[in-house]
Structure 1
Amino acid sequence: MSESFSSQPLKNGWIFRDAGDDDDEEEEEAKQWLPVSQVPSVVHLDLLDNGLIPDPFIGLNEQKVEWASHQDWVYRTTFWTPASCSSDTRHSLVFEGLDTFATVTLNGTVILRSDNMFIPHRVDITDAILNHSTSGKNVLDILFESPVRRGREVVKSHPEHRYIAHQTEVGRLGARKAAYHWGWDWGPILVTSGPWRPVRLETYVGRIDDLWMQSTVVEDLSSCTGTLYVQTESRSAGWVHFELRDEANIIFEADVDVDTDGKAKTGFKLDNPTLWYPHGYGEPKRYELVAKLFKGDTILHEASKKVGFRRAELVQEKDEHGQSFYFRINNIDVFASGSNWIPGESFLPRLTDEKYRDWLKLMIEGNQNMIRIWGGGVFEPEIFYETCDELGILVWQDFLFACASYPTYPEYLESVEQEARANVKLLRHHPSIVIYAGNNEDYQIQQTYNLTYDYDTDKDPNSWLKSSFPARYIYEYLLPKVVEEECPGLPYHPSSPWGGGKHTTDPTIGDIHQWDVWHGTMQPYQNLASMGGRFVSEFGMEAYPHIHTIDAFIDNPDEKYLQSLTMDFRNKARDHERRLGSYILQNFKIKQDFKSYLHLSQLAQSETMVFAYRSWRREWGQAKDRRCGGVLVWQLNDCWPTISWAVVDYYLIKKPAFYAIARASQPLAIGVSRTYHEWVSGHARPPKTSRFHVWVTSSRLEPVTATVEIRYIPIATGKDIKSASILQNTKISPNGTTEILTEPLDYTQPPYTEPIVISATLTVDKKIISRDIDWPQPLKYLNLTDRGVNVEFLADQSAIRVTAAKPTKGIVFEERPGLWFEDNGIDVVPGDERVIAVKGIGSAHAVPRWTYLEDDREG
């Protein structure tokens, strides 16, 4: 970095206080100036640090801190005027994010007003600090007004719009702020305020304001052409030196004069570039783009970004099933197996780079290759996308609108455009981002409330503004315009879900959110095989976390039972007891003790993942016949310790469902299932006949020769009822689905008169690389006691060996921080021992508690 440019984080030395006039004695202490540990911060963290509120993540404390969201707060710091090296030296304050209604005052003069959490700001303060005083000491105040009060006031000031907001109050629609802060069906009501992203003081003569690239990889992948750009801020024109580096090697460079608009650009071409590929399909190769700004021979500023070259296409072609929806990267059809991401914290400044990396590394560990950033959260920080680039994780980025009918008055549209443009500019160098979507579920709001939407005939954006669904203007005109102008060619999708004007539940087109399991009609999860679509971007099932996480939020031991106020309070989902209880009751024999119910909830979630990922991935099919292009579970993570749809909890402790997804998403995964026989609608009777299918899905790009073995094992005895079907030298087609076997089952004739599991294994190079086991449904009709399970710790291998004398369902080892399991939540059949690598276990005595379905061991 040149000495001509300096960037000083204003991280320490801040204080804060209540800015209100209320003289309530109980809150008087909070009105004194109090220390701030560091910025970025939000007021709840600073109140917590100063002992003024209890930890809202424990017990019922969320209610005890609500008052903080209704107060105004002021933050203050001081800084010294930097020495100026020349008359051309400029000084700026940079605010990467102010949450949300903020008035910034420098030395008593207002320099900025902001009402959008997602817009970064840069303010030139040169004259303000040089003319302030001879002392050189400057006072910076930021007043944050209550987002709850201000949001409600904004709504009232625009009565011309019909405000509709699901999950939370309509006041959130008056603030460009993370929607989940108002509470969601998995998160608390913690409406934050404060300098939530870094504040910096920058001094410079000239600076690079933006560095970016637009590039195109030709269809045969043999070359890449494009343009490198720099936008500068300088009082006098200079020149820019561009470089593209492959590690230490410079593969392209050019010197370009800065024009009168402060811009410099140069074309480039690379022959045979090494391309960026998603995880499982190749190396996520990146290059370094460097720009240096000169005035004469003096370097004023240097900037660099890591970039990648790839062709990214969203394939939407008419076919016999409707219209496809899948991604093609570098001419390779890519099945998207992944997760939805909500913000990883209620208090975002608490998230560290290390924790972001740990979250995203779980994606790779779980054989997932796409993450969808949900529209009720935030544009994530650079470390999130940087890590996705590095690991090869595809990113689906929603714009930040969720579950509502948003207004479109002129000031709002102007703010939304600034927000969208600023963030697309910040993110456009990331090869991992392959799609922007306009919102989350806002077209479902349109359908639910019968808001005006004439997709086929009304193509006039101005008329949309006058309709009862004016936000169509944002999703189908404003946002795609911004994306095309700032990041040409990147796929844009008006909403998630959305199907080209058809109903959002139409399985033949676009993406769908499949919530008729859990929500809606509460279909059995065994029905999921017939409930897919062209791309399933949301579906899920709730489950309790492991007991460690429950212990972390229970502050009263008397509340540690299923129906306690604390347990109900922690689960924000509507009708959660009835819905989760129904799925457990329909599928499992019920034990009343706490840990058994916890285990059953985890099995219900894990089984849901099996039926979804296994069957929908099967519909990946072959080229030109991609019936399903991807599956994204709701959700990967939590923002606080809770009971939710997350497959990994707040402490990064994995639930069994995480492993079920990982097994179904392996590069080569075998699947086996029999025809589903419905039993829940009344007159339950066992089926007389059925049919089972065996198949293999592959994401490998070359054919594989494998051995498939299918066994038929009685649940009562564990002794095979007939010889295994062994299919040697089976050719597995690349990047698709290979159907292996279909056979009838006649339960009225031997040997199928007793309940059996069908076990299938896939062996490559003499090693079993994938297993699947199909069970008669529902599991509650089976006698699964006395399974003869044996667990042995193998110290020399840092592993656990699991065997069973009879087919065993859902062996779960209790997880906690510091432990790591290669697999968990497994089914085991006789003769197929499972050896699971582990970390954090030093001896046989340290093996954590484990259980299985209908575990009849004492204790």
Structure 2
Amino acid sequence: MIRPVFSLWATLFRVVSAAKVISLIGNDWTLSNHNGSISVPAHLPSQAHLDLYANGVIDDPYHNLNEFGLRWVAYSNWTYTSAPITGLSRDASSTWLRFDGLDTFATISFCGEYVASTNNQFRQWYYDVTDIMSSCEEPDRIIALDFGSAPLIANQISNEAGQETWPSGVQQLFIRKEQSDFGWDWGPAFAPAGPWQPAYVVQLGHGDVHVRNSDLDIYRRGQLNGLPPDQSQPWVVNASLDYFGALPEGATMRYVLKDTNNKTVCSGPLGNVNTTKSTVTGMATIEDDKVELWWPSQLGLQTLYWITVELHTPTKSMLTSVRKRVGFRTIVLNQTPLSEDQLAMGIAPGNNWHFEVNGHEFYAKGSNIIPPDAFWTRVTRYRIDQLFDSVIDGNQNMLRVWASGAYSPDFMFDLADEKGILLWSEFEFGDALYPVNQDFLDNVREEAEYQVRRCNHHPSLALWAGGNELESLELLLLNESAPEEFPKFKAQYEKLFIDTLAPAVFRNTRSISYTPSSTSNGYTNLNVSSPHPITQRFYDVKPGHYYSDTDFYNYDPVPNPWA
């Protein structure tokens, strides 16, 4: 049976609350197919291939040509069923289900009743099941997660009226699932399904709230995305908590900042508290001399702090608190036009394209990182720790987290914070143009908002990019092969990567730059408060001027003495 626990995370993000939180992580699950011919013990988090392999139903997916022999797994529907959940109370004010990741098309039921359906691997899902709980006996308190076949559903969606994108025939573009699950030039196609992230049942008493996600943005006063800030200004801490429950009118917020030796650095109230039905936000100012800077590897120390954000009733009783590990740094991708002083130094005309940390331009040395495994649920902190040690040993200070995989988990950011590795992070779009119907855009907007807020407190977060090889490959190929179609598809590209993703970043952080594509000629105008915040240069370039980053594959580390 699934029993209650009262802590959410063993990672470096902790929530303290009076709410009862029952973790669904563990082995109290069963995996079955829809005709009942397969039923085996299962785990959460997991994916169907892994539980089938653990129970001897299939061979190692990596072995021989099993990528092809196991296609039937991807084309089947699978159900994860929990054991009865004990410890729940009918006297609770409300009962919620919370899923931090379902891969991908899941139908959720509780106590035998339908709850909801999901369609995005990268979103957090949460549902009020109070009415269902009110008439559900303990033996029936079972969660069932029915997962549909992602390849079949993607094909079905691609054939719906009004779906249009380029190139045609690549069905994974129509769904929000790890794109490399369908195969890439470096990896196999398994298209797995399952509850790939933790899940919880949350019960609230009268006046309780539960924080499901939070956003801590640390920046210099007056700082705007993509522009070098004034390093003489104090720090601003903007804390935003996403919650469910009944927050009393007049709630207040406080913060306590401690160093890693648990010594209090500073504390006080958060001002400008603003509350909606699901989010509460406040901010504080911290003087520069109170904290030490965080630096990338080889540029300085990786100084980290613990910050606790408390939420109080008007009578000063604490409702809940969130504790996160943070660092104080500014990181900017500078794409501004070259100054007269730079031109006078003999630098070729055009725009800047470099990173600045704490006001210092530095040389970013690094690699691209793809998913370490075809099944993310078996990627461990230990594996990433070993990988990051190799990054440091190789004198690197930045990794580009490749699009078309999955967003970096918290433990990956935690290790990067400790080791001084900057993570150039991409939204999960790559090497293609994508649909722009309203349902797709709304789904993507929710995904982006959740991920930006989840990751934002990490000092190792260096950049958000819309995706991989979009402007310099897909749009460029289209412009060359079908120039008459280019205006239409350019407008669709802008609708997703400039009008949807960019505002999702700018609404939730001032500390991180955004570029629509990892290979790009940059912008001619940046206005973060505009509905169309970026005007891209695209291919309007002048001979002899330099604007962009690009890929280069022809390095020769050993000169040829016979040349």
Would you call these one fold, judging by a TM-score over 0.5? yes
Cα 1:341–1:297, aligned 2, differ >3 Å: closer, same or farther?
A: same
User: How many pairs does the alignment contain?
Assistant: 501
Q: Which residue of 2 aligns with 1:492?
A: 514
Asked if 1:776 is matched to 2:529, the reply is no
One-letter code of the match for 1:49? Answer: A
Q: Which residue of 1 aligns with 2:324?
A: 305
Q: Which residue of 1 aligns with 2:84?
A: 79
Q: Secondary structure at the match of 1:79?
A: coil
1:514 to 540, 543, 552: 552
Q: Which residue of 1 aligns with 2:236?
A: 225
Q: Which residue of 1 aligns with 2:533?
A: none
Q: Structure 1: how far apart are the matches of 2:19 and 2:480? A: 53
Q: Structure 2: how far apart are the matches of 1:283 and 1:352? A: 26
Query: What is the CA distance between 1:321 and its match in structure 2?
Result: 5.0
Q: Which residue of 1 aligns with 2:400?
A: 372
One-letter code of the match for 1:361? Answer: D
Query: What is the CA distance between 1:136 and its match in structure 2?
Result: 5.5
- Name which of structure 1's ranges 407-416 and 51-60 shifts more when overlaid on structure 2: 51-60
One-letter code of the match for 2:234? Answer: S
Cα 1:209–1:315, aligned 2, differ >3 Å: closer, same or farther?
A: same
Cα 1:220–1:100, aligned 2, differ >3 Å: closer, same or farther?
A: closer
Q: Which residue of 1 aligns with 2:341?
A: none
Q: Which residue of 1 aligns with 2:526?
A: none
- Name which of structure 1's ranges 251-260 and 288-297 shifts more when overlaid on structure 2: 251-260
Asked if 1:195 is matched to 2:195, the reply is yes
Query: What is the CA distance between 1:297 and its match in structure 2?
Result: 6.2
Query: What is the CA distance between 1:298 and its match in structure 2?
Result: 5.0
Q: Secondary structure at the match of 2:120?
A: coil
Cα 1:469–1:18, aligned 2, differ >3 Å: closer, same or farther?
A: farther
Q: Is the 8 A contact 2:256 2:266 kept in 1?
A: yes
Pairs within 5 Å for 1:249-648: 249-255=263-269, 261=276, 263-272=280-289, 273-295=291-313, 296=315, 298-316=317-335, 317-318=337-338, 319-320=347-348, 322-443=350-471, 444-450=473-479, 467=489, 470-500=492-522, 501-503=537-539, 508-515=546-553, 517=554, 528=555, 608=556, 610=557
Q: Structure 2: how far apart are the matches of 1:376 and 1:96? A: 19
Residues 51-75 of structure 1, C-alpha deviations (whole Å, 9 max, x = no match): 1222121222222111111111111
- Name which of structure 1's ranges 199-208 and 474-483 shifts more when overlaid on structure 2: 199-208
List 4+ stretches of structure 1 deviating above 6 A.
Answer: 451-454, 504-507
Cα 1:322–1:256, aligned 2, differ >3 Å: closer, same or farther?
A: closer
Q: Secondary structure at the match of 1:320?
A: coil
Q: Structure 2: how far apart are the matches of 1:185 and 1:410? A: 31
TM-score under structure 2 normalisation? 0.82
TM-score under structure 1 normalisation? 0.55
Cα 1:196–1:232, aligned 2, differ >3 Å: closer, same or farther?
A: closer
One-letter code of the match for 2:120? Answer: N
Q: Secondary structure at the match of 2:79?
A: strand
2:58 to 53, 66, 69: 53
Q: Secondary structure at the match of 1:497?
A: coil
Q: Secondary structure at the match of 2:500?
A: helix
One-letter code of the match for 2:158? Answer: V
* Structure of greater Rg: 1
Pairs within 5 Å for 1:106-255: 106-133=110-137, 135=138, 137-164=140-167, 170-204=170-204, 205-217=208-220, 219-221=230-232, 223-237=234-248, 238-247=251-260, 248-255=262-269
1:32 to 24, 27, 38: 38
Query: What is the CA distance between 1:383 and its match in structure 2?
Result: 0.5
2:73 to 65, 68, 75: 68
Cα 1:427–1:137, aligned 2, differ >3 Å: closer, same or farther?
A: same
Q: Secondary structure at the match of 2:115?
A: strand
Q: Structure 2: how far apart are the matches of 1:7 and 1:228? A: 23
Query: What is the CA distance between 1:210 and its match in structure 2?
Result: 4.0
Cα 1:43–1:15, aligned 2, differ >3 Å: closer, same or farther?
A: same
Cα 1:452–1:300, aligned 2, differ >3 Å: closer, same or farther?
A: farther
Cα 1:232–1:255, aligned 2, differ >3 Å: closer, same or farther?
A: farther
Query: What is the CA distance between 1:438 and its match in structure 2?
Result: 0.8
Q: Structure 1: how far apart are the matches of 2:17 and 2:489? A: 55
Q: Structure 2: how far apart are the matches of 1:339 and 1:260? A: 41
Q: Structure 2: how far apart are the matches of 1:225 and 1:236? A: 25
Asked if 1:95 is matched to 2:99, the reply is yes
Q: Structure 1: how far apart are the matches of 2:475 and 2:17? A: 55
Q: Which residue of 2 aligns with 1:719?
A: none
Q: Structure 2: how far apart are the matches of 1:425 and 1:442? A: 24
Query: What is the CA distance between 1:327 and its match in structure 2?
Result: 0.6
Q: Is the 8 A contact 1:224 1:271 kept in 2?
A: yes
Cα 1:215–1:452, aligned 2, differ >3 Å: closer, same or farther?
A: farther
Q: Is the 8 A contact 1:453 1:469 kept in 2?
A: no
Q: Structure 1: how far apart are the matches of 2:156 and 2:20? A: 41
Q: Secondary structure at the match of 2:74?
A: helix
Q: Structure 2: how far apart are the matches of 1:504 and 1:432? A: 33
Query: What is the CA distance between 1:467 and its match in structure 2?
Result: 4.2
Query: What is the CA distance between 1:211 and its match in structure 2?
Result: 3.7
Q: Which residue of 2 aligns with 1:703?
A: none
**Which residues of structure 1 form unaligned runs of 5+?**
22-29, 455-462, 518-527, 529-607, 612-773, 779-859
Query: What is the CA distance between 1:368 and its match in structure 2?
Result: 0.5
Q: Secondary structure at the match of 1:322?
A: coil
Query: What is the CA distance between 1:487 and its match in structure 2?
Result: 0.9
Q: Structure 1: how far apart are the matches of 2:500 and 2:247? A: 34
Cα 1:452–1:330, aligned 2, differ >3 Å: closer, same or farther?
A: farther
Q: Is the 8 A contact 1:323 1:509 kept in 2?
A: yes
Cα 1:451–1:18, aligned 2, differ >3 Å: closer, same or farther?
A: farther
Q: Structure 2: how far apart are the matches of 1:251 and 1:358? A: 33
Cα 1:158–1:81, aligned 2, differ >3 Å: closer, same or farther?
A: farther
One-letter code of the match for 1:6? Answer: K
Cα 1:211–1:54, aligned 2, differ >3 Å: closer, same or farther?
A: closer
Query: What is the CA distance between 1:315 and its match in structure 2?
Result: 2.2
Query: What is the CA distance between 1:256 and its match in structure 2?
Result: 5.8
Q: Is the 8 A contact 2:90 2:133 kept in 1?
A: no
Q: Is the 8 A contact 1:446 1:452 kept in 2?
A: no
**Which residues of structure 2 form unaligned runs of 5+?**
1-6, 8-15, 222-229, 339-346, 523-536
Q: Which residue of 2 aligns with 1:10?
A: 24
One-letter code of the match for 2:350? Answer: G
Cα 1:467–1:83, aligned 2, differ >3 Å: closer, same or farther?
A: closer
One-letter code of the match for 2:393? Answer: E
Q: Secondary structure at the match of 1:413?
A: helix
Query: What is the CA distance between 1:149 and its match in structure 2?
Result: 0.3
Q: Secondary structure at the match of 2:443?
A: helix
Q: Which residue of 2 aligns with 1:596?
A: none
Residues 454-513 of structure 1, C-alpha deviations (whole Å, 9 max, x = no match): 9xxxxxxxx97x546613211122111111111124211110211133459999321102
Residues 771-807 of structure 1, C-alpha deviations (whole Å, 9 max, x = no match): xxx65146xxxxxxxxxxxxxxxxxxxxxxxxxxxxx
Cα 1:409–1:212, aligned 2, differ >3 Å: closer, same or farther?
A: closer
Residues 219-255 of structure 1, C-alpha deviations (whole Å, 9 max, x = no match): 3457323433444433241443321112322222224
Q: Secondary structure at the match of 1:132?
A: coil
